[in-house]
Amino acid sequence: MQKDVLLEMVKQNQFTSHFSFDRVTEENASLRLNHKTASIGFIYRHIGETIHLFGQFFGIPTDVSNTTIGQIDTGQPYEVGYSRELIERGYRMLQDLVEKSSDENWLKPVDTPFFGTVSRARLFAHVLFHNSHHAGQISMTLAKGSR
C-alpha cells in the first residue's frame, strides 16, 4: 500500500506540473517575471538538475552537473529539450526509487546540507514540493513575464 501511495504522489506531481512544463519552449525560455527573477529556461533546467542531485541523497548516482543551484541566471541559454529530458528521467528515477525501496527504508535518516538530518520520506516530499514550487513560477512567468 505504501508504495502505491508514493507512486500516486509522483504521478500527481508529474501530472500537475506538466501544465507548466509542457508549455516551455525555446521561444519563451528567456521570459522573466521581472528583471530580478530567473528566466523560464533557467528554472526549467534547475528542476531537471535538482531532481537528479537530490537523488544522490538516496544513494542514486548521477552524471548530471549542477549549473543552477546557488547560481544567478546571467541569461545563458539552456536547451529546453535537454532540460525536458532531465525532468522526464528524474520522474522515472523517483518511480524506480519508490519501487525498489522497502517500507522501513523511508524512515531512515539522510544528512542534507539544506535541512540537516531528515527522513528519506521528508526528503522525497521536498523533491515533489520543489518541482511544484518551480512549476508555479514558470506558470506565472508564462502569464505575466517579459524579456
Residue 112, pLDDT score: 93
Length of the chain: 147
Asked if residues 18 and 70 have their Cβ atoms less than 8 Å apart, the reply is no
Q: Per residue in 46-101, pLDDT tens?
A: 999 999 999 999 999 999 999 999 999 999 999 999 999 999 999 999 999 999 99
Q: Per residue in 24-43, pLDDT tens?
A: 999 999 999 999 999 999 99
The model's pTM is 0.95
